[in-house]
Amino acid sequence: MNLTLKNLNKIAVLGTGNVGQAIAKALSSKNYNVTIGTRDVSQTMAKDKPDNMGNLPISIMLKENTNINLSTFQEAIVDADLIVLAVGGSNVFSVLDLAGPIQAETVVIDITNPLDFSKGFPPSLFTDSTESLAEKIQSKYPHIKLVKSLNTMANSIMLTPDVLKDQGSNFICGNDSGAKEIVKELFVTFGWDKTSIIDLGDLSGSRGMEMILPLWIKIFQSILILK
């Protein structure tokens, strides 16, 4: 069945971090059937304290949002109409391996960034300017319809753009125009103005979207320092 906004129901959000939590909460507030994927449900639920960055564990969020499910990456994608990739860039391929086969033609929104923290902060990128992480994912999984978006903004804005006075730019790109249109329509239902959604064309547009991160991090750092 071709995905439309009308038949969109089950959404798998792969990732239990800040991004996965924010996206899952927003989607669930619009009554989508949301399942978050993790490696090990009982280990994840056993974490009940903020991590060393102060991020709240998902167990707390799930207690307040009982309509959101948590399952393994593999179970989460079963019959999913839409998949959202919300894990660190360096873990994307392990997570996709754990998830197992994704149904052909599934629309996958990729929010990840190819950040390399191996030398500490600020991170560098582990990709070069000729092939983005999104392109690497699409090339390994040619049967899915990958749409890159939301990776250039804070998770507190992604599906709640009304918190901004000026929405700025929400970049999007992907090789399948139909998949992109559905994702754009979905964004509009969350308050994104059509004129703020900037379509960069095919997936090669994701190179710039990912390369913006070093600048994004510098700005973020300078705001924190100024505070």
Candidate list 89, 161, 174, 205; residue touching ligand NAP; CB under 6 A? 89
Asked if 108 and 147 touch (Cβ cutoff 8 Å), the reply is yes
Candidate list 155, 171, 184, 205; residue touching ligand NAP; CB under 6 A? 155
Query: Is residue 170 involved in binding ligand NAP (CB under 6 A)?
Result: no
Asked if 102 and 73 touch (Cβ cutoff 8 Å), the reply is no
Is the N-terminal amide bond of 161 cis, ω within 30° of 0? no
Q: How far is the CB of 110 from ligand NAP (least distance, A)?
A: 9
Q: How far is the CB of 129 from ligand NAP (least distance, A)?
A: 18
Tokens 């996958």, residue located: 108
Residue 94 vs 103, nearer CB to ligand NAP: 94
Residue 177 vs 206, nearer CB to ligand NAP: 206
Q: How far is the CB of 158 from ligand NAP (least distance, A)?
A: 7
48-87 residues in contact with ligand NAP (CB under 6 A) are: 86-87
19-38 residues in contact with ligand NAP (CB under 6 A) are: 19-20, 38
Asked if 150 and 171 touch (Cβ cutoff 8 Å), the reply is no
Query: Is residue 115 involved in binding ligand NAP (CB under 6 A)?
Result: yes
Closest residue to ligand NAP using C-beta atoms: 17
Q: How far is CA 56 from CA 20, 48, 59, 60, 67, in A?
A: 12, 8, 8, 7, 19
Query: Is residue 123 involved in binding ligand NAP (CB under 6 A)?
Result: no
Asked if 164 and 156 touch (Cβ cutoff 8 Å), the reply is no
Query: Is residue 127 involved in binding ligand NAP (CB under 6 A)?
Result: no
Burial of 26 (0-12, 13-18, 19+ CB in 10 A): middle
Span near ligand NAP by CB under 6 A; candidates 109-117, 169-177, 184-192, 199-207? 109-117
Query: Is residue 99 involved in binding ligand NAP (CB under 6 A)?
Result: no
Residue 95 vs 179, nearer CB to ligand NAP: 95
Which of 113, 77, 106 is CA-nearest to residue 92?
A: 113
Q: How far is CA 60 from CA 24, 32, 52, 90, in A?
A: 14, 20, 16, 26
Report the alpha-carbon distance of residue 196 to residue 157 in Å, rounded: 13
Site size for ligand NAP (CB under 6 A): 23
* Residues at the interface with ligand NAP (CB under 6 A): 15-20, 38-39, 44, 86-89, 91, 94-95, 111-113, 115, 151, 154-155
